[in-house]
Amino acid sequence: MSENRDLPTDLGLLKIIERYLVLQLGAVRRQITSVGGTPSDARGGVSEVGRPRPAARAPEWLIQLGIDGERRPVVVHRGGCAAARRATVVPASRRDALEALAAGVESCYACRPDRELQVD
């Protein structure tokens, strides 16, 4: 990482530098708008620095794929199921989850999506 050789390696110092730069960027943007520029001119096409992005909405349902070569659906999970964290899963709609359960795909023993989907 040759472009970082002029920066310190201390995390505390890096955070101080980052905060300073965010403050300077804000000052420059305010100056741009004060001399007649628009807010979009002030951003210059660059996203806000230091602003967290909104979290992506987690899917309501997940379908776990098997480890065989065909990657068949093997288990249906609720979206936030801890048992699905280390598995290979794909997001699914409610309809996909219902169809998978109806086709004989197993319901997760931990999150029990069959109960919420009211499948016997």
The pairing of beta strand 106-107 with beta strand 73-78? parallel
The predicted model scores a pTM of 0.54
Q: What is the dihedral of CA 72, 77, 81, 82, to 10 degrees?
A: -40
Given strand 61-65, what is the order of strands in its sheet? 89-92, 61-65, 73-78, 106-107
Q: Where are the domains of the chain?
A: 2-43, 61-116
CA distance 6 to 68: 49
DSSP 109: T
pLDDT digits (tens, 9 = 90+) for 40-96: 665 555 555 556 666 677 789 999 999 887 889 999 999 999 999 989 999 999 999
